[in-house]
Amino acid sequence: MDEDLKRFYELYTRRRSVRRFLDKEIEDEKLKRLFDVLRRAQSAANRQPWHFIVVRRRDHGELFSKVFTRGGFEGASVAIVACAEPGKAWVRKADSRNYAWVDVTIAITEMIGAATAEGIGTCWVAAIDPAEVKRLLCIPEEIEVVGIIAMGYPAEPLRREEKNRKPVEEIIHYGRW
């Protein structure tokens, strides 16, 4: 395996959920690169049914401390509030499944990979109060809050880690269930 490829796969061994952060801002140019990754993400029928609200602790301190309902993320530098717009999303005919949340999740996952490569720690936070977040951030009625991504420089460096995961034989099925 060549070195580039090795580094690529190694990235996925380094990512973990980070809940403790250094008191250090994420640089604007890094954020810009991450936002470009969000923008380029794939989506069903290329509908891009997403919006991302950036709440920086340095600019919106009070809002920042309120959006994470359960606390524990006050040390992060940036919160990305990931929003879906189901009215703009592709809908599968066979079962009327709306793909808005899938598309938002794909974009965020891509961004988390890039953030890991940048040395930035992330945590996906689903345990929030979406109605309260909508009220605080003036999010329109038809928009849904999928989750909030806490981001910042990790208090402990990101490194290779073996996690508690199911074995591959348990989750990969060849040919049939």
Q: Are 56 and 151 in contact (CB under 8 A)?
A: no
Cβ neighbours of residue 74 closer than 8 Å, sequence gap 6 or more: 57, 64, 65, 68
By the rule CB under 6 A, 52 interacts with ligand FMN = no
What's the closest the beta carbon of residue 150 comes to ligand FMN, in angstroms? 9
Question: Mask of contacts with ligand FMN, 143-162, x by CB under 6 A?
Answer: ----x---------------
What's the closest the beta carbon of residue 68 comes to ligand FMN, in angstroms? 9
Nearer to ligand FMN, 123 or 143 (CB): 123
3-state SS, residue 25:
coil
By the rule CB under 6 A, 163 interacts with ligand FMN = yes
CA angle 107, 55, 58 (to 5 degrees): 135
Site for ligand FMN in 115-144 (CB under 6 A): 123-127
Nearest to 81 by CA among 56, 54, 49: 54
Size of the site for ligand FMN (CB under 6 A): 10
By the rule CB under 6 A, 16 interacts with ligand FMN = yes
* Alpha carbon distance 101, 146 (integer Å): 7
By the rule CB under 6 A, 17 interacts with ligand FMN = yes
Instruction: Return the C-alpha torsion angle 9, 81, 29, 59, nearest 10.
Output: -140
Summarize as ranges the residues that interact with ligand FMN (CB under 6 A). 16-17, 19, 123-127, 147, 163
